[in-house]
């Protein structure tokens, strides 16, 4: 069974559309994250949630809205998609709160905005 699973794997859409990426982890972890990896391979944190509570909210446009219905799920909704949103989005989870000893990443969602 996949530990951190995210869907879809690929997402191709037009500018201005709204899309969602889903993430689920079956590791029993308390903390989940969204990271963005751009074309230069720079991996940057966007959000983290601990037990459904928002912990980290980096300088991300408010078109991006994470939602955590329970501690095993962290979804990412993006409104009014722009060309610059094209990237690979990784969900991740870790045990406990505080600097994670180990991050478990999902396999990524490649988002292409046309």
**Considering the rule CB under 8 A, would residue 90 count as an interface residue with other proteins?**
yes
Q: How far is the CB of 105 from other proteins (least distance, A)?
A: 4
Residue 84 backbone dihedrals phi, psi, to 5 degrees: -70, -10
**Considering the rule CB under 8 A, would residue 39 count as an interface residue with other proteins?**
no
**Considering the rule CB under 8 A, would residue 56 count as an interface residue with other proteins?**
yes
> Pick from 38, 104, 46, 113: which is nearest to 75 by CA?
46
**Pairwise CA distance, residues 38 & 31, whole Å:** 23
Rank residues 12 and 43 by Cβ distance to other proteins and give the closer one: 43
**Pairwise CA distance, residues 93 & 58, whole Å:** 17
**Considering the rule CB under 8 A, would residue 61 count as an interface residue with other proteins?**
no
Which residues would be at the binding site for other proteins (CB under 8 A)? 31, 40-45, 48, 55-56, 90, 97-103, 105-108
């Amino acid at each position: 069974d996949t530990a951190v699973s995210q869907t879809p794997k690929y997402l191709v859409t037009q500018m201005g559309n709204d899309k969602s990426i889903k993430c689920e982890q079956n590791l029993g972890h308390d903390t989940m994250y969204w990271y963005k990896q751009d074309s230069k391979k720079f991996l940057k944190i966007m959000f983290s949630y601990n037990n459904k509570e928002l912990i980290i909210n980096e300088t991300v446009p408010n078109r991006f809205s994470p939602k955590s219905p329970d501690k095993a799920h962290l979804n990412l909704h993006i409104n009014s998609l722009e060309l610059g949103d094209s990237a690979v989005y990784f969900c991740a989870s870790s045990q406990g709160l505080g600097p994670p000893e180990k991050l478990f990443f999902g396999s990524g969602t490649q988002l292409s905005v046309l």
